[in-house]
Amino acid sequence: MSDIRLLSRRDFLRRTGQGTGGLVLALSFAGCSRPAEEPAAASEELAEFTPNVYVNLKSDGVLEIHCHRSEMGQGIRTCLPQVIADEMDAAWDRIVLVQAPGGQQYGDQNTDGSTSIRQQFDLLRNAGASAREMLLLAAAERWQVERSEVTAAEHTVYHEASGRSAGFGELVEDAARQELPAEPTFKSPDNYRYIGESMDLIDGFDMTTGQANYGIDTVLPDMLYASIERPPVFGGTIRSLDDSEARAVAGVVDVVRMPDPTSPPVFNPLGGVAVLATNTWAAQQGRKALKIDWDAGPNAVYDSESYKQAMIETSHTAGSPIFNRGDVDAALDGADRVVEADYYAPHLSQAPMEPPAATARINEDGSCDVWSCTQNPQAVQQTVAGLLGIEQTDVHAHVTLLGGGFGRKSKADFPAEAAWLARETGRSVKVTWTREDDIQQGYLHAVSAQHLQASMDGDGAVTGWLHRTVFPSIGSTFNAETTGPGGFELDLGFVDNPFDIGNMRLETGDAKAHVRIGWLRSVCNIYHAFAVSSFADELAHAAGVDPKDYLLSLIGPPRLIDPTADGASYNNYGQSLEQHPIDTARLSAVVEKAADMASWGRALPEGRGLGIAAHRSFLAYVAAVAEVSVDDAGKLKVEDMWLVIDAGRVINPDRVVAQMEGAGIFGMSLAMHGEITAKGGSIEQNNFDGYPLVRINEAPNSINVHIMDVDAPPGGVGEPGVPPIAPAITNAYFAATGNRVRELPMRKAGLV
């Protein structure tokens, strides 16, 4: 008789990966591995060639590539080496990936905004091309031949005329003496070996077998485990504390009162009381035994329902104009028909699979080591240094793998908590957030109210467009006086409206934040795309025109758009409009392709509908078509989805497909279920029972992804897939039922 054992999922994967179980996973993980050459003896010191912070070639031929961005499932620890190794002509199986710690020498390390490739493609190419050029120069010098006569391929330099060759490792010392080239020559895309190819994740095997280390996995000698009871209302403080019962819990070592929250919050700790114990369970049980009388502070007035009504009222009154083309008022006054609508999207939580976790140690010299699942190790350095009163260079920010991020882990509050507690206790401390902590006291995506009006002529064409957006700003996290939208937030699907409408005015309205506001995957594009793409569908039906055809007519003829020409300030995701123009031809192309994939216009049975939406964000163009069914009870099921992305040059197509599939599910969760509400300043949801995500029974039968083959600089990939998902689904619901959805999530109206 077999015994019954309780196995964690991770232990199960470890056991099956070691061959002790009966499960066979037919997976291939061809990638970076042990070097082919025999490594040097441990006692032998290897020479190294380090032309830049990303490349370190050793004399045994091992090529270390330092990844300065964070891996959270998007595959950057694979894609970044693909770019460098391709330009360097390195052999893939000779590469060892090294995760870089926080440091100014790496430039911007914030893995956010889909920037890792789109902003650094040329920088990464330069890192590889510079190393290749110096190796070629070293070989030419050694063989006394012209540089033009030597070539590199597969970790080897060749001189074809004489038949000589030398492995990269053999040239290390000579290459290190070469001057760094000012402008190394990049390879022609025709000669790429890795860029543009689907390659297995470097971390795939470790992830699959449970051997990968995430933030929560860090363990240090003599470490304490902390669980923190934070204020239930943002900005709250402690009136009184009774910790006697908490201290009596077995395993509890100490109870420490955290510093009060700051205003603005920035990335500082939220305050509260930390219970420290010899294990996580004891710390959590001790935390439950705390007796705290809270002063909720000014945000106790926050009620999400009354706040919603106030925002809608604000959106109905004239706001601050930030974009003005033509004369919208005259167009509205002279219209044959005026269509108007309000759209609402609630607060959202990033809710990554792995809640925030960080471990910190204070060293004898006063420096601090922090291990965390962070998207931004430089923010960890800055925040911890400020909290402890030490230099940023004395904060060593180590980056683990991230079990998801979606923007939450770009904030450094949880590493700061660990560091502060390590200093206070004199021991290494791990802080682990629970799911409840993450949902109730994280950085929420902003709630939003949108009001739109359009004037139409007798043929159904739009002659005027008025759009007001109202939401509490992320800026409030950094400046307590901020009371409404501003800065880069308005660049995200608002001022970059692609429609060919002669009269257009875009306005903002004030909204004061009562919670910590932070970015979430695709940020403001989520609610702007929901409003704009939904309204476009409404106008199509008002005009009696097929929604796909009407959307294309709104986009209009091929042209390049410059929002600054109409008085708007526009950042274009940190890159120039010359290099990354707003190109309506590319937007129209993804619409056409998605419609073609979905066989748009085909006859559907009763209770089924197709919906389409398209949006440009993070310099990429995405169109989505959703097919939904609605049963007799009015419940919606997403049957299939078709997604098309134009992200310019793509590094790893398989990763793009995976991220688009993930965006489809992520966007479905937001559209169908996602809602965070507040009462008396406290968040009402605390786990996935109140904040559900799409489950497997709700998943589409298929998510079909197409990547456009476009000769353009790389755009973003991780975030652009999300914005068109919700409007594609709600537009499909209208096509199936004739009922319009203007408020998310659909669950609130009982539609799912």
pLDDT at residue 528 above 60?
A: yes
Give which of 165, 157, 166 is closest to 133, Cα–Cα. 157
Task: Band the pLDDT of 409: cuts 50, 70, 90.
Answer: very high
Residues near 503 by beta carbon (within 8 Å), at least 6 away in sequence? 325, 326, 327, 328, 330, 331, 455, 463, 464, 465
Instruction: Tell me the average pLDDT across 362-375.
Output: 98
Instruction: Tell me the average pLDDT across 280-300.
Output: 98
pLDDT at residue 5 above 70?
A: no
**pLDDT for res 248:** 98
Q: Give the chain's mean pLDDT.
A: 94
pLDDT at residue 555 above 50?
A: yes
**pLDDT for res 486:** 86
**pLDDT for res 24:** 32
**Contact criterion met (CB below 8 Å) for 520 and 348:** yes
Q: Could you give the C-alpha distances from 534 to 192, 538, 609, 725, 735, in angstroms and in order?
A: 41, 6, 15, 11, 12
Instruction: Tell me the average pLDDT across 581-591.
Output: 98
Question: Could you read off the pLDDT of 10-68 as tens digits, one per residue?
Answer: 443 344 444 333 333 333 445 564 333 334 444 468 999 999 999 999 999 999 999 99
Sequential DSSP letters for 479-514: -TT--S--GGGGGTTTTT-----SEEEEEEE----S
Parallel, antiparallel or unpaired: strands 273-277 and 164-167: unpaired
Please tell us whether the domain made up of 215-298+356-432 is placed in CATH 2.30.110.10. Answer: no
The single-letter DSSP state of residue 110 is -
For 571-725, where are the E strands, in sequence order? 582-583, 608-617, 620-630, 636-646, 678-679, 682-683, 702-707
pLDDT at residue 303 above 80?
A: yes
**pLDDT for res 487:** 85
Please list, residue by residue across 683-708, b when 16 or more beta carbons sit within 10 angstroms of its beta carbon and e when fewer do.
bebbeeeebbbbeeebbbeebbbbbb
Instruction: Tell me the average pLDDT across 293-301.
Output: 97
pLDDT at residue 516 above 60?
A: yes
**pLDDT for res 9:** 41
Instruction: Tell me the average pLDDT across 709-715.
Output: 97
Instruction: Tell me the average pLDDT across 398-420.
Output: 98
Question: Could you read off the pLDDT of 197-213 as tens digits, one per residue?
Answer: 999 999 999 999 999 99
Question: Could you read off the pLDDT of 103-146 as tens digits, one per residue?
Answer: 999 999 999 999 999 999 999 999 999 999 999 999 999 999 99
As given in the structure block, the two tokens for residue 705 are: 């992804």
Question: Could you read off the pLDDT of 722-750 as tens digits, one per residue?
Answer: 999 999 999 999 999 999 999 999 999 99
Q: Could you give the C-alpha distances from 514 to 298, 346, 446, 648, in angstroms and in order?
A: 9, 14, 10, 39
**pLDDT for res 30:** 53
**pLDDT for res 44:** 66
Tell me the percentage of the chain whose pLDDT exceeds 90. Answer: 93
Angle at 94 between CA 142 and CA 68, to 5 degrees: 100
Parallel, antiparallel or unpaired: strands 560-561 and 582-583: antiparallel
pLDDT at residue 621 above 80?
A: yes
Q: Which CATH number fits domain 304-349+443-749: 3.30.365.10, 3.40.50.720, 3.30.1490.20, 3.30.70.20?
A: 3.30.365.10
- Tell me how far apart the alpha carbons of residues 294 and 230 are, in angstroms, rounded to a whole number: 10
pLDDT at residue 264 above 90?
A: yes
For CATH 3.30.365.10, the residue range(s) in the chain are 48-208, 215-298+356-432, 304-349+443-749
**pLDDT for res 32:** 60
Within its chain, how far is the Cα of 561 from the centroid? 26
Q: Is the four-CA dihedral 185, 188, 192, 198 of positive or negative sign?
A: positive
The CATH fold assigned to 48-208 is Aldehyde Oxidoreductase; domain 4 (3.30.365)
Instruction: Tell me the average pLDDT across 221-246.
Output: 98
Q: Could you give the C-alpha distances from 347 to 135, 523, 524, 665, in angstroms and in order?
A: 53, 11, 11, 18
**Contact criterion met (CB below 8 Å) for 283 and 225:** yes
Name the β-bridge partners of 637: 629
pTM (two decimals): 0.94
Parallel, antiparallel or unpaired: strands 503-509 and 462-470: parallel
**pLDDT for res 1:** 31
Give which of 99, 179, 97 is closest to 136, Cα–Cα. 179
- Tell me how far apart the alpha carbons of residues 530 and 724 are, in angstroms, rounded to a whole number: 7
